[in-house]
Amino acid sequence: DQQVKQNSPSLSVQEGRISILNCDYTNSMFDYFLWYKKYPAEGPTFLISISSIKDKNEDGRFTVFLNKSAKHLSLHIVPSQPGDSAVYFCAAATTGNQFYFGTGTSLTVIP
Amino acid sequence: EAQVTQNPRYLITVTGKKLTVTCSQNMNHEYMSWYRQDPGLGLRQIYYSMNVEVTDKGDVPEGYKVSRKEKRNFPLILESPSPNQTSLYFCASSSPGQGTYGYTFGSGTRLTVV
């Protein structure tokens, strides 16, 4: 059973606009959430994370929001740039370092 | 340069022929892990290791073995590969001291079993 779900396989956004990527999870025991970015022929690279005790974490153009009651997190990219075009994976982790990844959302930023 | 190195990058093999995919990290990380990426299924954890001689099963361990004899190396062994193990494999490492639980991933090994 998929514990972390990304229901949108793909997303297209105009350059300069906001990109919002969503992720849902089922296990309330997760205590850390992360977003990874993946380009073709490369491994995923860590983008941003958030602890379960917070509801927002910001790093430059990237902001992650966590809604624990809804078991939902989202990644906002503002403004979106063509170089942001990639596959984005959300992941959730327990203290035992067991990671669970979503299926990924392919973001295309149109110039 | 801090990195996770996997070899080989590409491998085509036949059913039943034992193979090993090597993984090495130069960051002195305690945690190492293997994932496979399949279309529509995302990244699924095969095995992970929290330190030398400590390994544990992830979500999809069947058909795989690992060992962690040294801190820097975490090879993935397929004793008798089958076509359903055709996939893109990633090795990753991290350290609890990083504070973010973020894994550093290798560039991937694309395995085809015919």
Residue reference for tokens 């990237």:
A62
Q: How confident is the model at residue A72 (pLDDT cuts 50, 70, 90)?
A: very high
Mean pLDDT of chain B: 92
Distance, in Å, from the CA atom of B63 to the CA atom of B82, rounded to the nearest integer, reads 8
The alpha carbon of residue B28 is apart from the nearest alpha carbon of chain A, in Å, by 17
**Continuous H helices in chain A:** none
A4-110 belongs to which CATH class? mainly beta
A49–B104 CB contact, under 8 Å: no
Scanning A65-104 for CB atoms below 8 A from B yields: 89, 91, 93, 96-104
Residues forming a β-bridge with B84: none
**Between β-strands A105-110 and A10-14, what pairing exists: parallel, antiparallel or unpaired?**
parallel
Distance, in Å, from the CA atom of B13 to the CA atom of A100, rounded to the nearest integer, reads 29
Distance, in Å, from the CA atom of B44 to the CA atom of B37, rounded to the nearest integer, reads 6
Please check the confidence at residue B23 and state whether its pLDDT lies above 70: yes
Summarised one tens digit per residue, pLDDT across range B29-66 is 999 999 999 988 889 999 999 899 999 999 899 999 99
Token pair for A13 = 């956004």
Query: Using alpha carbons only, what angle is made at residue A98 by residues A23 and B35, rounded to the nearest 5 degrees?
Result: 80
* Partner residue opposite A104 with nearest CB, options B42, B106, B107: B42
- Nearest Cα residue to A10 out of A111, A75, A110, A107: A107
Summarised one tens digit per residue, pLDDT across range A16-71 is 999 999 999 999 889 889 999 999 889 999 999 999 999 999 999 999 999 999 99
